[in-house]
């Protein structure tokens, strides 16, 4: 009867070393794959909110959210058009003690409304295909490093809004913090480079951030 041959210690170490090398080689590709998946889910959230927002505008006779309304825009959308709070949280918005997972107020909100859109009338928007309505990262601009950190104040109890600043760099959600998903006034979603998103010094930049801006006017 033949004796069963067992692996020697050296053979086991070789196998472990090979596995470690393969994991190291595959890790970057896996990270990129997971990031693409989160970016897709993030864009889908924006699409759903865009559809809900258009329903709200239609029901409000073309008027956008009022800054002085009794309820902030997240609560209005959730109560009347989007029942699931999950849509309001980006997959890039990690669950932490400061921003816990919740299904009732105050719910962490990952998306910010273009601050210039409050109390505006849809019929007076000059360039709906270029005007930004909502953006993915209600991020904390003072957070160091490459990690996406969302503002603690970005919750369902507030009218979370965003204003661009060309002084801020690399505050996107993916693509090494240089890319960001955005919802436009005509309800389409696209991915912008951060430098284009945060542009406020050109006609194109003015057009995308100010709904009543007219080029050459």
> For residue 106, is the peptide bond before it cis, meaning its omega torsion is within 30 degrees of 0?
yes
Quote the pTM value.
0.83
From the CB of residue 103, how many other CB atoms can be counted at a distance below 10 Å? 8
Q: Is the dihedral of CA 61, 62, 68, 71 positive or negative?
A: positive
pLDDT at 143: 66
Mean pLDDT by 10 residues, the chain (217 residues): 64 81 73 86 95 95 94 94 93 92 91 94 93 81 73 92 76 88 94 90 90 80
pLDDT at 35: 86
pLDDT at 7: 65
**Cα(45)–Cα(47) distance, rounded to whole angstroms?**
5
Q: Report strand pairing: 161-162 vs 112-114.
A: parallel
pLDDT at 17: 83
């Amino acid at each position: 009867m033949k004796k069963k041959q067992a692996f020697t210690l050296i053979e086991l170490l070789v196998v472990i070393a090979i596995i470690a090398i393969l994991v190291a080689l595959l890790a970057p590709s896996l990270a990129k794959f997971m990031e693409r998946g989160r970016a897709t889910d993030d864009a889908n959230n924006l699409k759903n909110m865009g559809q809900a927002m258009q329903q709200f505008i239609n029901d409000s006779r073309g008027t956008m959210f009022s800054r002085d309304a009794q309820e902030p825009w997240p609560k209005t959308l959730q109560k009347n058009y989007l029942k699931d709070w999950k849509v309001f949280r980006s997959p890039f918005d990690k669950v932490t003690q400061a921003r816990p997972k919740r299904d009732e107020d105050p719910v962490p909100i990952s998306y910010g409304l273009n601050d210039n859109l409050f109390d505006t009338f849809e019929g007076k928007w000059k360039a709906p295909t270029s005007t930004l309505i909502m953006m993915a990262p209600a991020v904390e601009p003072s957070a160091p490093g490459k990690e996406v950190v969302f503002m603690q104040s970005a919750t369902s109890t507030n009218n979370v809004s965003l204003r661009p600043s060309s002084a801020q760099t690399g505050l996107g959600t993916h693509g090494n913090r240089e890319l960001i998903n955005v919802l436009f006034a005509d309800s389409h979603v696209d991915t912008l480079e951060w430098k284009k998103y945060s542009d406020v010094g050109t006609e194109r930049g003015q057009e995308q951030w100010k709904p009543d801006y007219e080029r050459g006017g």
